[in-house]
Amino acid sequence: MTKPSLIARKARREHERQQAILQKRNLPLCPGCELCSATKARECQRLQQQHEKSLRSRTRQALKNTLFEGVVVIKPKDVALTGAASEAHTQTDQSRQVYWTDGSCRHNSSCGLGVVYYCSIRSRWIELSWRVRGFVGTHVLEIYAISKALEIAWNRCRDMETKLRPTCICVYSDCTGALEYFDGFRWTLDGMKRLPCGPRLVGPGIVATKELSAVGIKVELRYVPGHAGIEGNVKADRAAKKGAEHFAKQRVAGVMIELLGGGGHDL
């Protein structure tokens, strides 16, 4: 007598084989079927992993001949505050994209990143939060956040018509240590090796500056005093804290960044 468990396994394998045939023919799977849902989820996970592996490989190759292509501006606190405050008057300026970044680390070791920017097309602020799996120092979180902003800037500009692209990307951070790291990246990327998962989490931002420069877009990283009431900085701080509030119980090797509401891990 054949065991019921063996029959079930055979039925599942046959069902999965049939679903694979449907997928190859671009036909829909069985609606509401748990086996089909599980098969689809595994396929999505496999494709996501392939995409991430391909992206990391391309980033490693690109970093071999790339440095940070931009300028870092750290002014005295009062001068920096005045300059950051004036950005409120440039929100509708299509030739300039401004991003505000921050990192947050809570007492329970949960960490988060925040990147915000004003979208003139939608006439509203876009606030993005990331949960960080793995404990790192605050200044490292700030470096990750700046890199994320640079990635976002390039992704937005890449999809624009040439005549609609800005001429300058400006990223504000309230961490001078993080800004000084990027200033060093203008000459060498050796410092990236000292950062947890540096090539994977910071490398894409460096590569983004090369792409932006190639299409004639300048990149500026600027210092903004923290907790001084500057709207963009306040919103970035809030976004980073939101990311840190989502404590990740599952431990991971190294560091992983997950976009909240993004349907999966980011990097």
Per-residue burial over 29-68, b if 16 or more Cβ lie within 10 Å, else e, is beeeeeebeebeeeeeeeeeeeeeeeeeeebeebbeebeb
Check residue 184 and give its pLDDT: 96
Q: What is the pLDDT along the chain (267 residues), one digit of tens a residue?
A: 556 567 777 777 777 777 777 777 777 766 656 556 666 666 665 655 555 555 556 666 778 889 999 999 999 999 999 999 998 777 778 899 999 999 999 876 789 999 999 987 778 999 999 999 887 889 999 999 999 999 999 999 998 998 999 999 999 999 999 999 999 999 999 999 899 989 999 999 999 999 999 999 999 999 999 999 999 999 999 999 999 987 655 555 567 889 987 544 455
What pLDDT does 264 receive? 44
pTM over 0.85: no
**Which residues, other chains included, contact 169 with Cβ-Cβ below 8 Å and sequence gap of 6+?**
97, 99, 150, 153, 157, 212, 217, 218, 219, 220
d(CA 16, CA 21): 9
Could you give phi then psi for residue 248, rounded to 5 degrees? -95, 110
User: According to the model, what pLDDT value does residue 171 have?
Assistant: 98
**Domain residue spans of the chain:** 4-60, 67-265
- With H, G, I as helix, E, B as strand and everything else as coil, classify residue 208: helix
- 243 burial class (0-12, 13-18, 19+ CB within 10 angstroms)? buried
The 3-state DSSP class for residue 6 equals helix
First and final C-alpha spacing in the chain? 50
Q: Which CATH architecture has domain 67-265?
A: 2-Layer Sandwich (3.30)
Predicted confidence at residue 75, as pLDDT, reads 97
What is the pLDDT, as a whole number, of residue 201?
92
pLDDT at site 247: 66
Q: Which of these, 254, 236, 45, 51, lies nearest to 133 by C-alpha position?
A: 254
Residue 263 is predicted with a pLDDT of: 43
